[in-house]
Amino acid sequence: MAFIALSIPILPGKKAKWREMMDEISAGGSIKARLDASRKAAGVHERSFLQEGPEGDVVIVTLEGNDPLAAFGKMMADPSLKDFAEWAADVHGMSPDASPPVPELVYDSGA
C-alpha cells in the first residue's frame, strides 16, 4: 500500500467558497456520494485537512492505495465530477489535466 500527502493552496479570497463545498460534502449530499465513488473506483482512501497559516491556507490531501498518483489523475478526469474539477480549478488554481506536484519524502520514522 502506498501513501502520498499533497499540499494544495487555497487561493486568496477563495476560502469561503472552499468552506461552502466542505460543508456540502459533510452534509452527505450527492457530491459526497460521487466523491466517495470516484475514490473507490480509483482504489484510494482520501483524507483532507485544512491547515491555516499566516502565509495562507492550504489543504493537505492524503491518498492511500496501490498507486495514489495514478488515482489522482483518474479522480480528476472522472466525468461525473466535472463540476468538482472546475471548482478545484477556481478555488485551488489546479488544472484538471495537470499532475499534482510530487512531494519529496524527507523523513520516515518507520524506515
Percentage of the chain exceeding pLDDT 90: 73
The predicted pLDDT at position 60 comes to 95
List, in sequence order, the alpha helices (H) in the chain. 15-26, 30-42, 68-77, 82-92
Number of domain units in the chain: 1
As a whole number of angstroms, the distance between CA 17 and CA 19 comes to 5
Residue 80 belongs to domain spanning? 2-92
Task: Flag whether 60 is in a domain.
Answer: yes
Please give the model's pTM, rounded to 2 decimal places: 0.88
**99 located within any domain:** no
Look at residue 27 and tell me if it is in a domain.
Answer: yes
> Residues 99-109: pLDDT tens digits?
777 888 899 89
The answer to whether position 58 is within a domain reads yes
Classify residue 111: in a domain, yes or no: no
Q: For residue 77, what is the domain's CATH number?
A: 3.30.70
